[in-house]
């Protein structure tokens, strides 16, 4: 089974530790982006995966490609053009102070992508699964067009399509709303991941009886949202929701639910009390979910449990990427959360 993900990867510049932007005189450089993060997760799990994007021809972009290659992600389908790699700046929050992200990605290479620049017939040779997120169509009209182009081609070829709705209000600034663009893309998608804000802002589906600010989330409240999504998008076979209860910036509860059209599966809830880095948490969930749905086909409960455990571990790892193995995830799934030294 081979997977392809498509989207933007950026240079990530983060303040050290919990320093504020105004306090630091240096920034730590790594790379990250929703779909690239999913690709790295899958590669770490031993699954063949290609990441597709558009990058400039310069040394910084080459460093990015080398970074992806280091983790085993296929980079041969990346196209080149444009003049810059997008950047995002991260200030990590603590306790009652939330994290902050500042984007510097206007006029990035992928934002200026156009239909026809990627040969999707070639990209999808021997591919079984295609993944996209709501971040990509938020970048520009061109990126939205190419994303739709990919989804339609995947549909033609019988490739399973998954998406993370991933609503980012700060990105939708090229004159169109998420609610105007996203439904056409979601209509071609088989597996949909989102949370309560995504459902409301992207699809206009309002969840009821949900309060994520109190540190506890009732999983059953999401069943009605899942049913509404499936009713509106008949192609959809599964709706998955991450359940994050935010006690504070360092302490979250973390779980997830999966609706298959008949039954609601609920994963165990983890208390993540000392978060190292929550950026990429949802992407690590998606990577775990894709792996689980492929490798544990027919066992949605195990696939969901794998996704939640994988993303729980991601919260202990610095950077966008979830650098864990299948064995480490399965160990946590089996109940070993001791963190004892492996000798």
**Cβ atoms 171, 104 nearer than 8 A:** no
**Cβ atoms 261, 237 nearer than 8 A:** yes
Question: pLDDT per residue over 135-156, tens digit each?
Answer: 999 999 999 999 999 999 999 9
d(CA 54, CA 63): 14
Residue 198 has pLDDT above 90, yes or no: no
Tell me the CATH architecture of domain 3-333: 3-Layer(aba) Sandwich (3.40)
d(CA 3, CA 6): 10
Name the pTM for this structure: 0.93
Task: Report helix, strand or coil for 252.
Answer: strand
Each domain of the chain, given as residue ranges in start order, spans 3-333
What's the confidence (pLDDT) of residue 44?
97
Higher-pLDDT residue of 162 and 243 is: 162
Alpha carbon of 51 to those of 48, 100, 221, 335: distances in Å?
A: 10, 27, 35, 33
Of 26, 22, 91, 35, nearest to 278 (Cα)?
91
Question: Given pLDDT bands bounded at 50, 70 and 90, which one contains residue 220?
Answer: low
Residue 193, strand partner residues: 164, 240
Task: Report helix, strand or coil for 161.
Answer: strand
Higher-pLDDT residue of 242 and 148 is: 148
Question: pLDDT per residue over 249-302, tens digit each?
Answer: 999 999 999 999 999 999 999 999 999 998 999 999 999 999 999 999 999 999
Higher-pLDDT residue of 252 and 158 is: 158
Let me know how long the chain is: 343
- How does the average pLDDT of the chain come out, rounded? 92
Question: pLDDT per residue over 55-108, tens digit each?
Answer: 999 999 999 999 999 999 999 999 999 999 999 999 999 999 999 999 999 999
The pairing of strands 28-32 and 10-14 is antiparallel
What's the confidence (pLDDT) of residue 195?
78
Residue 219 has pLDDT above 70, yes or no: no
Question: Given pLDDT bands bounded at 50, 70 and 90, which one contains residue 216?
Answer: low
What's the confidence (pLDDT) of residue 212?
47
Higher-pLDDT residue of 252 and 157 is: 157
**Number of Cα atoms under 13 Å in the Cβ half of residue 2:** 13
Residue 176: both structure tokens together: 């169109």
Question: Given pLDDT bands bounded at 50, 70 and 90, which one contains residue 168?
Answer: confident
What's the confidence (pLDDT) of residue 24?
95
What's the confidence (pLDDT) of residue 263?
93
**Cβ atoms 37, 164 nearer than 8 A:** no
d(CA 39, CA 231): 30
Question: pLDDT per residue over 6-61, tens digit each?
Answer: 999 999 999 999 999 999 999 999 999 999 999 999 999 999 999 999 999 999 99
């Amino acid at each position: 089974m081979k997977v392809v993900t498509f989207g933007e990867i950026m240079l990530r510049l983060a303040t050290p530790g919990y320093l504020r932007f105004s306090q630091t005189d240096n920034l730590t450089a790594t790379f990250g982006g929703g779909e690239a993060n999913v690709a790295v997760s899958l590669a770490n799990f031993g699954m063949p995966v290609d990441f597709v994007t558009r990058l400039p021809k310069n040394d910084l972009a080459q460093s990015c490609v080398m970074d992806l290659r280091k983790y085993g992600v296929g980079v041969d389908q990346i196209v080149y053009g444009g003049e810059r790699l997008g950047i995002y700046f991260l200030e990590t929050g603590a306790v009652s102070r939330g994290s902050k992200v500042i984007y510097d990605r206007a006029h990035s290479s992928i934002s200026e992508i156009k239909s026809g620049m990627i040969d999707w017939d070639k990209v999808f040779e021997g591919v079984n699964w295609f993944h996209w997120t709501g971040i990509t169509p938020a970048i520009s009209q061109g990126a939205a067009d190419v994303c739709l182009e990919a989804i339609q081609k995947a549909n033609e070829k019988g490739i399973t399509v998954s998406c993370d709705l991933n609503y980012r209000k700060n990105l939708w600034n090229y004159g169109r709303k998420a609610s105007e663009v996203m439904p056409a893309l979601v209509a071609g998608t088989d597996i949909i991941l989102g949370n309560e804000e995504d459902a409301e802002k992207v699809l206009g589906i309002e969840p009821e009886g949900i309060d994520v600010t109190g540190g506890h989330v009732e999983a059953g409240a999401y069943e009605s949202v899942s049913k509404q999504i499936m009713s509106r998008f008949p192609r959809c076979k599964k709706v998955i929701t991450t359940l994050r209860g935010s006690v504070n910036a360092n302490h979250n509860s973390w779980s997830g639910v999966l609706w298959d059209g008949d039954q609601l599966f609920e994963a165990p809830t983890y208390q993540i009390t000392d978060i190292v880095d929550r950026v990429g948490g949802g992407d690590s969930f998606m990577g775990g979910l894709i792996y689980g749905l492929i490798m544990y086909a027919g066992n949605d409960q195990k696939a969901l449990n794998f996704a939640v455990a994988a993303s729980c571990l991601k919260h202990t790892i610095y950077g966008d990427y979830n650098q864990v193995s299948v064995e480490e995830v399965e160990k946590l799934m089996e109940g070993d959360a001791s963190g004892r030294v492996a000798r």
